[in-house]
């Protein structure tokens, strides 16, 4: 993310949020990721396979990196070394997330659709090609 670049927050009113099935609705305001966090636009790939399963929805947790905060530190000490990201803005990534956190950290960013706040340690890899 370049210096000064921000993302617009288009959050619903408090009453709308209270009645929403999703946790955040549209996010309003401008934000940048905090240290060790990335904004990842959620990608819902279309499967070419027919999967017979009791689960009605398969979620692969894939997305495109929109912005990166400062790298995480090895420890909480201010002089601790930073851990390199290993990804760049624009990379398509796979990330791990606990199911109950899924709804809490996925928001609707104006002009970007569903955006997930992903911790640096939750990024599993970059998709090739």
What pTM value is reported for the model?
A: 0.68
Long-range contacts of 9-12 (CB under 8 A, 24+ apart): 9/109, 9/110, 10/108, 10/109, 10/110
Q: What is the per-residue pLDDT across 76-129, written as a single tens digit (0 to 9) for each?
A: 898 999 999 999 999 999 998 765 555 667 788 777 788 888 999 999 999 987
Confidence of residue 56 (pLDDT cuts 50, 70, 90): low
Assess contact for 96 and 126: CB atoms under 8 A. Answer: no
- Could you give all domains of the chain from N- to C-terminal order, each with its CATH number? 7-45+58-126 (2.30.33.40)
Residues 32, 54: Cα–Cα separation, whole Å: 39
Backbone angles phi, psi at 73, to 5 degrees: -100, 155
Furthest-apart CA atoms within the chain: distance in Å: 51
């Amino acid at each position: 993310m370049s210096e000064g670049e921000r993302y617009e927050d288009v959050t619903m009113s408090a009453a709308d949020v209270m009645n929403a099935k999703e946790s955040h609705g549209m996010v309003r305001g401008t934000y940048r990721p905090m240290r060790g966090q990335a904004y990842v636009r959620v990608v819902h790939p279309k499967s070419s396979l027919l999967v017979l399963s009791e689960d009605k929805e398969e979620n692969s947790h894939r997305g495109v990196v929109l912005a990166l905060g400062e790298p995480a530190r090895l420890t909480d000490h201010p002089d601790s070394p930073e851990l390199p990201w290993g990804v760049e803005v624009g990379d398509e990534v796979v990330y791990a997330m606990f199911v109950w956190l899924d709804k809490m950290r996925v928001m609707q960013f104006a002009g970007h659709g569903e955006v997930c706040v992903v911790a640096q340690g939750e990024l599993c890899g970059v998709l090739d090609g």
